Amino acid sequence: MNCIIIDDEATARAIISQLCSNVPSLTVLDEFPNAIQAIKYLNQNEIDLIFLDIHMPDFTGFDFIETIKNPPKIVLTTSDANFAIQAFEYDCIVDYLVKPITPERFQKAIQKAESSPVSATSSNASEHVETTSGNDLYVNIDRRLIKIDIPSIYLVEAKGDYILIKTEDKNYTVHSTLKKIEEKLPDSLFLKIHRSYIINVQKIIDIEDNSVLIKKDVIPVSRSNRPELMKRLNLL
């Protein structure tokens, strides 16, 4: 597998490169100290695997994933274990390595990358959020297709391998990804304001600093999504 390394720390890049050199199936094509340089490289080159740090100045690993189209397989490398659940919201992420990385743990990550499907889509997720019809969204829950009135949805929250859909009348827990349901919801009503949240813009009650209030839920707004949110509001 051809791979690249993205990490703002030179020492971390050197360690991962050394670990890669011990795996015959891996070929490191390049290394990058930031995500912007890597994006320019990916616009002209195809690769199989990315070793990606989460915490980088200005542009995080999650920002990077949301920016590129059709991302290859990704192994996250970080010193912060707190994002493990959120990381697997993304179908392209095959493993999550916490620094310092041992050779044994690194080898397991490579085995996962080699055995995972080439496509970055989730086969399970595609079976559980169904095609919309007019104002209706159909979700697969316990082998039953449940119809949800789209305008009644006010919040969608990512929870590991599941999403929580909150409506005016009832909440639904569905085996899917935020990305999958985002594709099904109309842009005229819904906006992703954080990597873990999609909101119905018409249901906003209040906005303060970097959060919005919908019903009784206070939802964080990421810095990268705030400008788009402000564009959507009918400001006086």
Complete DSSP assignment for 12-28: HHHHHHHHHHT-TT-EE
Q: What is the pLDDT of residue 75?
A: 96
Q: What is the pLDDT of residue 126?
A: 36
- Let me know: does 164 contact 173? Beta carbons within 8 Å: yes
Structure-model confidence comparison of residues 138 and 156, the more confident one: 156
Q: pTM of the entire structure? A: 0.53
Topology given in CATH for the domain delimited by 2-115: Rossmann fold (3.40.50)
Q: What is the pLDDT of residue 129?
A: 56
Q: What is the pLDDT of residue 99?
A: 93
Tell me what the mean pLDDT of segment 177-192 comes to. Answer: 91
Determine what percent of the chain falls in helix, strand and coil, rounding each to the nearest 5.
Answer: 30, 35, 35
Q: What is the pLDDT of residue 21?
A: 96
Q: Is 4 exposed, middle or buried (0-12, 13-18, 19+ CB in 10 A)?
A: buried
The answer on pLDDT for 125 being more than 60 is no
Residues of the chain with CATH 2.40.50.1020: 124-232
Q: What is the pLDDT of residue 68?
A: 81
Highest mean pLDDT among 122-126, 178-182, 196-200: 196-200
Q: Hunting for tokens 């690194």 — which residue is that?
A: 106
Choosing among 3.40.50.150, 3.50.50.60, 2.40.50.1020, 2.40.50.140, the CATH entry for 124-232 is 2.40.50.1020
Residues of the chain with CATH 3.40.50.2300: 2-115
- Let me know: does 213 contact 207? Beta carbons within 8 Å: yes
The answer on pLDDT for 130 being more than 90 is no
